[in-house]
Chains A and B, each alone.
Chain A
Amino acid sequence: MTVFVSDALGGERLPFRAAPPSPLPGRAGWAALSACYRDGLAALGLAVSRVQRPEIYGAEVARAVRGVRAGDWHLAVTPLAHLRPFHGLPDVFAVDWPYAEPPGPVGLPPFPDVLRLLRGAAAVACPTAAAARGLRAAGLARVVHLPPYVPGGGVGAPSTRAGTDGVRFLAVLPEGPGPRDLDPLVEGFAMARARCGDLRLAVALPGHGPPPGPLTAGVDVVRAADLPGLLDGADFLLSTAAPGASSLPRIGAMLAGVPLVAPVAGAGDHPGPGEAVPLAVHPAEVRAEEEPLARRLALTLPRPAAAAVRDAVLAAASLDPAGRARIAGAARRAAGEAHGLPAFEAGLREIEAHVREWAP
């Protein structure tokens, strides 16, 4: 059995180009999720074939030329706007719905009714339990929690470094961070640094090329291409990401034994209480006017305020090594359990059952 995985976005779907396309916003996160899924499928013995444009193989002869056989299925790991069907095969659409509220029956360009598209799939695979809950609440059936498979979790004991050059924080931001993402982070960190000068923050941005200069005293910008290397040099991962969103950098840090400073409340899967230095997020702090989607869909995607970042950073910096190890150990166990092969396999078996029942 072969799983045809489509995860190309935008210009990546154009072959034989002299110049590589510019990556689309959000691309790195989806590429990482797709890699986790493909690794999981391969680890369970399934053949994986990547397909750039699944929708073009609608004719039977096209599927034969592409090497499709009975029992094969299609897994699309893309943002909603990039979903494409593989006509004639069961479609499984990966959907990472990061909001607390379920999606309504509204369009997200270019599709006038995304829920209808999802209802037509053999199954919907959600990387977080929170996303699965949200889509089920929207009335979708055949929604499966398929956690990304991240090898290496739960092995050995996390190590904590005895820092001699202060406490080093790492923040990994998504593509195209706006002021809403960056400002509270930098402002809050600067406030913390004003009280406890022995702190440094590296803000990792996606992409390549030389990073821009320091944002402010103690805050450097680096490139996020080499997450393991960045984690090696960090005492904490400071994550202000939306609590409902799948966050592979966060999972990577948990598995690497780097303690998190992150929201522990909300709809997200990780981290839970005791698995991170908590970063307070209050719904009252949501500024809907800064969130175009929130205006349109009445959704909320709260970010912590600068004062909350300051307090959490100071709390983390005051932890002794044992306290750090306790948090890191709990996080590592939780992430290892949630993102190991057994958890992935459980989700996959559920999807395969839906695929077997699928009828066009």
Chain B
Amino acid sequence: MTDRTPLVVDIGPLRETHYTGIPNVVAEICDRLLLEEWLDPRFVLDGRWVATESVRRCLAARSGLGLAEGLADRPGADAIPDDLRAAGTFDRAVALFTDHRPPRRTYAREGKIVYDLSMILAPECHPAGSVAMYTADLAEQVACSDVLFAISEATARDLVWIYGVPPGRVRVALLASTVDLARAGRVRDAIAGRPVEPFLLVLGSIEPRKNAGLVLEWVTRHPEVLDEVRIVFAGRQAWGETFASMTDAHGLGPAVAGGRVVFMGYVDESLKAALLVGAAGLIYPSLFEGFGLPLLDAMATGTPVLSSVSTSMPEVVGDCGYYFDPYEPTSLHAAYLRLRADRASGAVDGLVARARRRASAFTYDATYRVVLDGLFPGCAGGR
């Protein structure tokens, strides 16, 4: 019998080819728990027990491409309890589900990460099929989790309101930025103070929840803005109305043809860092977020943020940004004018410095501590 404590981790999000957003969060947590010598980690992906070495490789590559190889030949996840029983450690096994989980309990203590409940509260922001699949047994998943890790106070509040979860069962594990600041620094050095034509960056996939339409509506009502700045949209075309159909509907064809409104599609982490460094500001018009990582990335990079005031975003931005109502183009315009005035007066420099300090206070070490303490309460992280 081993002294190590079994921890079963379902790593569903790590199957993604490129790690951004949620896969990054899971990778950061897994990186750290693999360093814990007192833990005996067992990883599960798509109902299979994945070799730990395979997980290490994918974490190093920040890509799940290698995880799928040979997965079908691996033992099923239900072999883990048998293995733990044989080792005499089943009764103290703990499980962490980093996304979807079975709607029944297996281990002595089980935790689940909840990113946001937009599938419940804002189903119109998602494809109907995804909503049906995600929400089918969500109430049962919540009910049979001993501890729920919400990535923001806003998500915790939604858990309590929708499911009546006692607040003591919810731990708030805020996220952190993983933007490559060294790369951003190299971009800044390359620019070296040379003038860059000002542009505002809109980061996010093109889908209803990300609300790119607000920005298009704003520049349609205030075309003079396009004389001052370009608007650059960076993010993949996900679902719903296409970017082209939205610009057509707003009569922005000439602005697109003239390069005043630019759609770049998907950008990798390297290009994202470069865009953040060069941008005069980030506009983040999302209707609903569980956290709002692009805001933190921009703050860490030193880019002023114009942020939707919705859901979790004020928890990220604090008093270090320019807020607007995601339903009100006039509110966005007012935020833009405040940024412009602060640029003219130089006040923006102080705000950017504060934003950098604030962003640096969000760390994945802190996220990990919350998760570990939630999984192993009252025993100093199990150690």
Q: Which residues of A approach B to under 8 Å, CB–CB?
A: 10-11, 13-19, 21, 52-53, 55-62, 65-66, 84-85, 87, 107, 109-113, 116-117, 120
Contacts and interface: CB of A to CB of B under 8 A. Distances in A.
B158 A59 contact: no
Nearest to A65: B309
Given A13-B122, A17-B241, A117-B161, A58 B213 contact: no
A161 to B, nearest CB: 45
B158 A55 contact: yes
B303 interface: no
A148 to B, nearest CB: 26
B: contact size bracket: 35 or more
B331 to A, nearest CB: 7
A56 B157 contact: no
> A16, A17, A59 — which one has the most chain B CB atoms within 10 A of its CB?
A16
A65 B124 contact: no
Contact of B310 (A57, A109, A116): A57
A56 B326 contact: yes
Nearest to B323: A65
A66 B325 contact: yes
B288 interface: yes
B14 interface: no
Nearest to B315: A59
B216 interface: yes
> A10, A19, A55, A87 — which one has the most chain B CB atoms within 10 A of its CB?
A55
Contacts of A56: 287-288, 309-311, 326
Nearest to A52: B327
Given A56-B309, A56-B310, A120-B161, 15 more contacts: A14-B287, A15-B213, A15-B326, A15-B327, A18-B241, A21-B124, A52-B327, A53-B122, A53-B327, A56-B287, A57-B309, A59-B154, A66-B325, A107-B139, A112-B162
Nearest to A112: B139
Nearest to B121: A55
B157 A87 contact: yes
A67 to B, nearest CB: 9
A87 to B, nearest CB: 6
A18 B245 contact: yes
Contacts of B288: 53, 56
Contact of B214 (A16, A65, A109, A110): A16
A55 B310 CA distance: 9
B309 A15 contact: no
Contacts, number: 91
Contacts of B161: 85, 87, 117, 120
Given A10-B124, A59-B309, A65-B309, A16 B216 contact: yes
B311 A58 contact: yes
Interface in B271-328: 287-288, 309-311, 313-315, 323-327
Contacts of B245: 18
A52 to B, nearest CB: 6
A66 B211 CA distance: 18
B208 interface: yes
Nearest to B325: A65
A116 B164 contact: yes
B370 to A, nearest CB: 20
B135 interface: yes
Given A61-B323, A65-B324, A15 B120 contact: no
Which 7 interchain pairs have the tightest Cβ spacing? A16-B213, A18-B249, A59-B314, A56-B310, A112-B139, A62-B309, A65-B309
A112 B122 contact: no
A15 B331 CA distance: 14
B250 to A, nearest CB: 8
A113 B161 CA distance: 11
Nearest to A24: B124
Interface string B163-177: 110000000000000
B372 interface: no
A19 B331 CA distance: 23
> B248, B288, B311 — which one has the most chain A CB atoms within 10 A of its CB?
B311
A55 B171 CA distance: 21
Contacts of B157: 58, 87
